[in-house]
Chains A and B, each alone.
Chain A
């Protein structure tokens, strides 16, 4: 339906349209929707969401603190943090962006975009994620490896123990 059509036909039809379409009702419901914005939300609800967001931020920060019991298994922390982040994102989208109260168009816009997003990331895996499975000799020569970190840590511990000795001498 192009935009110019309604103008042409408005000359033909006279009076308000009530029976053929459900138009008047539809418009009313839109207006109601606009008004009902004041019904949802409200200070208390926003504050509750805010407190929840702060709490969740503290939770993801917990993985950094010494109270986190799974220090040796970073995967546990990663899964936990992603779960926390998704919950936070959901809270922001549903309440602050008012998506909870929107009509069904929200799915049309968000679901394809989200699918594209996931697909995009998956498409990167073969070429980029697995790029170090086979590397040229030259690249292998220059790229950092786990052994480099170990070497540096060994050097650090050697240096710090050396430092202690020297301090005792002084």
Chain B
């Protein structure tokens, strides 16, 4: 134990009685100590989230591949790069503030804020592309089925007999062929096929797999999900038919939970940075910048683990 407080207590036990004077228990400022204590709780918080993700993922019978759930690895890598850059800029802001280069510190801080917002923007774009494919973390909006079984078939049937959808299909069928694009023509033919298969009383298990594939194919390894021709859901955005992604529901829950909590942390960091921008960023503010920076590096740290776990595993 080399805490100064303890050593003082010992040596002064002898003749003079206790000699007490205030001194920090640890050689660091209170703000930084509190920030580190907070960060150690954050370590456990995110470790619990990441740990349960890993355990859920490897305990699952089937887990979707990243391209099955329309994750784009290059976008994820880009976001990693953005966060790393913002970590560097916040460190440079701290160094500039210590050297009393106030305007330089402010511009580094502003750049950090911009990079953080860019990260959030990319994240929002990714979320919206999940929502477009019916991947939601909860049931009423989520259209993901685990397997192409009878329940899936009846859900497709129910959607296709929705009056609004029926009207749209009727309108589509009424349009002359030369008005439709190639994709729409194939889509129309496929839609008819799907309707027949779903309503067929002698339907086989394989038929429902074909239906699922026509509605939203699981993109193959390496092939781009978008030039795959897409499924019916891509061709006709209004259709919004239920889709099959084996393991997709658990995947959606963990994905949105992990990235959602991370995004909340990013938002908090951005609020802190915007408050800091109101101050003069000289040596007096260095402590504040350092603490905000510690928090921000931690957010970066979490993403460093989230990126490979979610996008590349």
Give residues in A with beta carbon < 8 Å to B.
1, 3, 5-10, 12-13, 17, 20-23, 26-27, 29-30, 33, 37-38, 41-43, 46-47, 49-50, 53-54, 57-58, 60-61, 63-64, 66, 74, 77-78, 81-82, 84-85, 88-89, 92-93, 96-98, 102-106, 109-110, 112-114, 116-118, 120-121, 124-125, 128-132, 142-146, 148-149, 151-156, 158-159, 163
Contacts and interface: CB of A to CB of B under 8 A. Distances in A.
A33 to B, nearest CB: 6
Contacts of B16: 20
Q: Which secondary structure dominates chain A's binding surface? A: helix
Given A3-B22, A54-B81, 6 more contacts: A20-B8, A33-B27, A46-B92, A50-B85, A77-B312, A125-B55
21 contacts: A1-B9, A6-B20, A7-B22, A8-B20, A13-B19, A21-B7, A21-B21, A46-B95, A49-B88, A82-B308, A85-B308, A106-B36, A120-B51, A132-B59, A144-B61, A145-B62, A146-B61, A152-B209, A154-B206, A155-B206, A155-B210
B87 interface: yes
Contacts of A9: 18-21
A3 B22 CA distance: 7
B116 to A, nearest CB: 15
A110 B246 contact: no
B268 interface: no
B157 interface: no
Given A23-B8, A145-B147, A151-B148, A118 B21 contact: no
B229 to A, nearest CB: 8
A81 B312 contact: yes
Interface string B55-92: 11011111000000000010001001100110110011
Q: Which secondary structure dominates chain B's binding surface? A: helix
Interface string B291-313: 00110011011001101100111
Nearest to A1: B5
A93 B246 contact: no
Contacts of B184: none
Interface centre among A74, A93, A149 (most CB of B within 10 A): A149
Nearest to B84: A53
Contact of A92 (B85, B146, B301): B301
Contacts of A82: 308
B2 interface: yes
Contacts, number: 240
A10 B278 CA distance: 39
Given A66-B222, A104-B2, A142 B98 contact: no
B56 A128 contact: yes
B214 interface: yes
A50 B51 CA distance: 28
Interface stretch (B39-47, B129-137, B158-166, B233-241): B39-47
Contact of A156 (B18, B22, B61, B218): B218
Nearest to B73: A64
Contact of A89 (B37, B41, B209, B305): B305
Contacts of A98: 290
B66 to A, nearest CB: 8
Contact of B246 (A60, A97, A128, A148): A148
A98 to B, nearest CB: 8
Contacts of B22: 3, 6-7
Contact of A64 (B27, B52, B312): B312
B213 interface: yes
Contacts of A142: 146-147, 149, 151
B264 interface: no
Contacts of A29: 27
